[in-house]
């Protein structure tokens, strides 16, 4: 037997105003679209803003459905919309924010497993890392240089 050690690195910002200006704008748009989430069951609202290499910003918020699991997370709403509208554009940066209707979220909320896999698909497809910034409603904001930090053993087309 051998032991494998995996190290990941994240940057942490204490507040939105510490972020670079372009990321502040992206996060503010994610916060604004978070309010459009349809979350009557979980009461957990998520907003995502993507910056594409063509300069366009694509937004998404989570959309729930009484017939679980028919809804979609904000990250996948934004990613799939970007893929449909701008199929040749690369996603270069992603801002994610989450808030609960029942309590304050003060820790950075990362993408769920299904969203990580979807982000991995696009990162692999475009062969370019996607910077990911994520936060709760308040508090620290974490930055990952690539999805690989969040999913070091990611499954992609190379396994097929």
- Residues belonging to the binding site for substrate are 62-68
Bind-site residues? 62-68, 73, 112, 115
List the catalytic residue out of 18, 75, 121, 131. Answer: 75
Annotated binding site for Zn(2+): 73, 112, 115
If residue 116 lies in a helix (H) or strand (E), which one and from where to where?
helix 113-126
Could you confirm whether 137 is annotated as catalytic? no
d(CA 31, CA 47): 6
Query: Residue 55: which residues within 8 A CB-CB, separation 6 or more?
Result: none
Q: Which residues have C-beta within 8 Å of that of residue 35, sequence separation ≥ 6?
A: 45, 47, 61
The strands making up 44-52's β-sheet, listed across from edge to edge, are 10-13, 141-144, 131-135, 91-100, 44-52, 57-61
Residues with a known catalytic role: 75
């Amino acid at each position: 037997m051998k032991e494998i050690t995996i190290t990941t690195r994240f940057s942490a910002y204490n507040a939105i105003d510490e972020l670079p200006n372009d990321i502040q704008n992206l996060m503010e748009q994610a916060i604004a679209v978070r309010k459009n989430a349809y979350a009557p069951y979980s009461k957990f609202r998520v907003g995502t803003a993507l910056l594409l290499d063509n300069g366009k910003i694509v937004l998404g918020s989570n959309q729930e459905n009484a017939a679980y699991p028919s809804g979609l997370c904000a990250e996948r709403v934004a990613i799939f919309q970007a893929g449909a509208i701008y199929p040749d554009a690369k996603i270069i940066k992603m801002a994610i924010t989450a808030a609960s209707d029942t309590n304050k979220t003060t820790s950075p909320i990362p993408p769920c497993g299904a969203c990580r896999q979807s982000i991995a698909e696009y990162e692999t497809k475009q062969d370019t890392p996607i910077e990911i910034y994520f936060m709760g409603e308040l508090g620290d904001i974490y930055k990952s240089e690539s999805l690989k930090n969040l999913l070091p053993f990611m499954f992609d087309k190379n396994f097929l």
